[in-house]
């Protein structure tokens, strides 16, 4: 086999491998189904990068907010989502995940709709990943809120 054919086979194999593990952004229906049944979140996060997982979790929170739930139940469901999010990602990536998640939450008025919801998210991160990761989430959220739209609270 000559070198060009070997190279072509290698390129085709690599493309097939990457296509097999490619993340597909969830549809609105999938996000709504995950908000109703959080066990579906893990499937949505398959092959996701840190940013893709964080954005997907933020999108599920938006769908949770649309459900007809009492505020306490909504906050509890969002907290449970955080556990699924972090458990679906490698532990060595949790710090980066918390920071990315904070940025996506800060950029969404719905995902950061109440201080109680934010507190629930941070508390869940602390319970799953530890105080340092929870603090990183809080710090990244605060920084994002100061820089989104160029003013404190500009993300709202």
pTM of the model: 0.81
**What DSSP designation does 47 have?**
T
* Tokens 């404190």 -> residue: 152
Q: How far apart, in whole angstroms, are the C-alpha atoms of residue 124 and residue 102?
A: 13
Q: Specify the residue for token string 């920084």.
A: 143
Q: What is the pLDDT of residues 1-23, one digit of tens each?
A: 566 555 545 455 555 444 446 89
The model's pLDDT over 25-74, given as tens digits with 9 standing for 90+, comes to: 999 999 999 999 999 999 999 999 999 999 999 999 999 999 999 999 99
């Amino acid at each position: 086999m000559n070198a060009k054919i070997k190279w072509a086979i290698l390129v085709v194999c690599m493309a097939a491998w990457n296509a097999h593990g490619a993340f597909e952004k969830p549809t609105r229906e999938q996000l709504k189904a995950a908000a109703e049944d959080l066990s579906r979140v893990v499937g949505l996060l398959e092959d996701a990068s840190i940013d893709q997982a964080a954005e997907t979790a933020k999108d599920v929170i938006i769908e949770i907010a649309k459900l007809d739930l009492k505020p306490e139940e909504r906050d509890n469901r969002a907290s449970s989502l955080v556990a699924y999010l972090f458990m679906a990602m490698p532990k060595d990536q949790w710090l980066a995940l918390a920071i990315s998640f904070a940025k996506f939450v800060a950029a969404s008025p719905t995902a950061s709709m109440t201080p109680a919801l934010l507190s629930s998210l941070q508390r869940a991160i602390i319970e799953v990943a530890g105080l340092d990761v929870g603090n990183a989430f809080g710090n990244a959220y605060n920084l994002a809120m100061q820089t989104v739209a160029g003013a404190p609270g500009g993300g709202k």
